[in-house]
Amino acid sequence: MTLRFDRIVLREIRLPLKQPFRISSGMVTERRIALVELQHPDGISGWGECVAGEQPNYSPETIDTAWWAIRTWIAPRVRATDLASPNVVQGLLARDFRGHLMAKAAVEMAAWELASRLEGVPLSRMLGGTRDQIPTGISLGIQSGPEALVALARAARADGYRKIKMKIAPGRDVAFVAAVREALGPSVPLAVDANSAYTLEDSAVMRALDTLELVMIEQPLGREDLVRHAALQQSLRTPLCLDESITDLERAEDMVTLGSGRIINIKPGRVGGFGASLGIHDYCWAHHVPVWCGGMLESGIGRAHNVALASLPNFTLPGDLSPSARYWERDIVTPEWTMDADGMVRVPLDAPGMGVTVDMDRVDDLTVRRDVIG
Ligand code: OSB
Ligand code: MG
């Protein structure tokens, strides 16, 4: 069946988090999530989720800029057109059209999901995935004090998580992370994520973190910065991992050329979708740079896309792919996402597409805005 979609339904849902999530640049208590449904003329839908937040504190995009971009520029380029494969969508959305990568990704990834349903294959396998389960890590938000963080880290370990990442900010860093290292012992994989809260002036903090045997320090410096990250990496034993700074394949190439980091957190929603993610994955594999799949507090739809991507062979570090119950009282897909006692999330391989069903009653209940294009 030809890949095409004549109608796009945009929905905004509000999904309250069980616990507020704080990073160095802001806090979220309720997610405002834009969902994309691409409708094929034969009645089959492909689903996507936009990872843009409510505030421009992680990237310049927000749910509202993404909504506008999808309506105004993205939909007219790809709707009601026969597409040779989902691979062409990235190119169609790139020509003379800068930025808006999260908005583009929501539609691009929905096109892949639709294509995998039309072809009758699991999304994971359409992307080139080879694994059937993914080792999973947790990302813990900034807490009021070291004791609170230690308690959460202990609980995460007991749940089976394979990696514990802690958000840090100036003043809430070394003492917090050292307390967790002390409490959990030397062999537990720990990481930190600064979301760009530091500068090269903070070398004392970085040197102290460097003694804590971390798997990585994620995005310590500015989101557009590769030069200073290279200088910092030179001075540390701990690998730097870049998240915000890697917006496309060329930025990944620059990271390797400059030595700005040794690991990449690929979030398909950040880089414009699966096409760019596959390019970054393959490049990193060829250059012996491990990658892992980060999260953006997605609902079960975004989670499905991330799990499918994380099944590719060079995703060798645990992904931030916590199960549904960690975030929500009730997710918007069935079955909900779960993790076993060994910290593994199963890749759904017994059905075409993303492998979970959108709970339309639940989505309807949560929808606060709806827009139909076409
Ligand atoms: O930097 O990885 C990040 C959430 C919001 C914004 C940025 C980040 C995060 C996370 C959440 O770490 C990970 C998850 O989805 O569980
Ligand atoms: Mg990050």
* Sequence-ordered alpha helix ranges (H) in 294-368: 300-310, 324-327, 360-366
pLDDT, tens only, 207-229: 999 999 999 999 999 999 999 99
CA of 193 to the centre of ligand 2 (A): 6
Any idea how long the chain is?
Answer: 374
Ligand whose nearest atom lies closest to the CA of 299: 1
**Span 164-171, average pLDDT:** 98
**pLDDT confidence tier of residue 147, bands split at 50, 70 and 90:** very high
Is residue 1's pLDDT more than 90?
Answer: no
pLDDT, tens only, 4-53: 999 999 999 999 999 999 999 999 999 999 999 999 999 999 999 999 99
> Any idea what the Cα angle at residue 243 is, between residues 239 and 245, rounded to 5°?
100
Q: How far apart are CA 31 and CA 33, in angstroms?
A: 6
Q: How far apart are CA 85 and CA 96, in angstroms?
A: 21
pLDDT, tens only, 61-107: 999 999 999 999 999 999 999 999 999 999 999 999 999 999 999 99
Nearest CA to ligand 1 atom 4: 296
Of ligand 1's listed atoms, the one at least distance from the Cα of 167 is 12
Relative to beta strand 7-23, strand 26-39 is antiparallel
Q: Is 18 a catalytic residue?
A: no
Is residue 286's pLDDT more than 90?
Answer: yes
What's the pLDDT at 85? 97
Q: Is 167 a catalytic residue?
A: yes
Of ligand 1's listed atoms, the one at least distance from the Cα of 195 is 1
CA distances from 321 to 54, 227, 318 (A): 21, 30, 8
